[in-house]
Amino acid sequence: VKISVMGTGTVGRALAARLAEVGHEVVVGTRDPAALLARTGPDAMGSPPYAQWQERHPEVGLVPAPEAGASAGLLVNATAGTASVAALTGAGLADRPGLVVLDVANALVFGEGRPPTLAVANTDSLGEQIQRAFPRARVVKALNTMNCEVMVRPDRVPGDHVVFLAGEDADAKQVVSGLLAELGWKGSAVVDLGGIAAARGTEMYMPLWLSLMGVLGTADFNIQLNRG
């Protein structure tokens, strides 16, 4: 599948590199490729300049957002959650009816000296906002409950830990499950929570995830379900 990854931060990079490694044709979409490649300092989240990463990953193309949207056989949303609808609008998602969108984003709002908060919660979620903004796209929320290195290499964490799916379209969830298998997720690790409204729960797990990272001192952890 031709995969377009919207997102030039650590998450977009991790997913793009790994999806290319497992055999997909992958491009990363951005608003201004030239400006991105010209940047010599770290990005907003402290990641090294994209050009350095690009040099190590010539197999991943970098294209303007509209081109990424137009060429996608599957689109990954790895943009800042508070800007995701704008970023996907820029990618022309409205003109791609039926396109499967794997949404891994969280709508975190970062502030000075306090833990991040959620821009949307409780009665709504980013997954739902994206599905409402692009009603003809097939949005599947997944992978947003873990660090991006765990997303693409689940064996970094021992045990039968899980990845959640939420979305309205069964076929789209099937497509995403196939992709997860390619990344190394066992079928038994995929927990389908139902419709896209279930994204609320996975997104609202973020404050607990952030606390756990603080306490554990690592991002290499994940949820394991043990039922009686």
Ligand X SMILES: NC(=O)c1ccc[n+]([C@@H]2O[C@H](COP(=O)([O-])OP(=O)(O)OC[C@H]3O[C@@H](n4cnc5c(N)ncnc54)[C@H](OP(=O)(O)O)[C@@H]3O)[C@@H](O)[C@H]2O)c1
* Interface contacts to ligand X, rule CB under 6 A: 7-12, 30-31, 36, 44-45, 78-81, 83, 86-87, 90, 104-106, 108, 144, 147-148
Q: Which is nearer to ligand X, 44 or 215 (CB)?
A: 44
Nearest distance, CB of residue 228 and ligand X, angstroms: 29
Secondary structure, 3-state, the chain: CEEEEECCCHHHHHHHHHHHHCCCEEEEEECCHHHHHHCCCCCCCCCCCHHHHHHHCCCCEEEEHHHHHHHCCEEEECCCHHHHHHHHHHCCHHHCCCCEEEECCCCEEEECCEEEEECCCCCCCHHHHHHHHCCCCEEEEECCCCCHHHHHCHHHCCCCECEEEEECCHHHHHHHHHHHHHHCCCHHHEEECCCHHHHHHHHHCHHHHHHHHHHHCCCCCCCECCCC
Q: Which is nearer to ligand X, 46 or 228 (CB)?
A: 46
Nearest distance, CB of residue 188 and ligand X, angstroms: 22
Nearest distance, CB of residue 142 and ligand X, angstroms: 10
Residue nearest to ligand X (CB): 9
Nearest distance, CB of residue 172 and ligand X, angstroms: 19
Nearest distance, CB of residue 59 and ligand X, angstroms: 19
Q: Which is nearer to ligand X, 95 or 171 (CB)?
A: 95
Q: Which is nearer to ligand X, 51 or 171 (CB)?
A: 51
Q: Which is nearer to ligand X, 99 or 127 (CB)?
A: 127
Alpha carbon 54 to its chain's center: 19
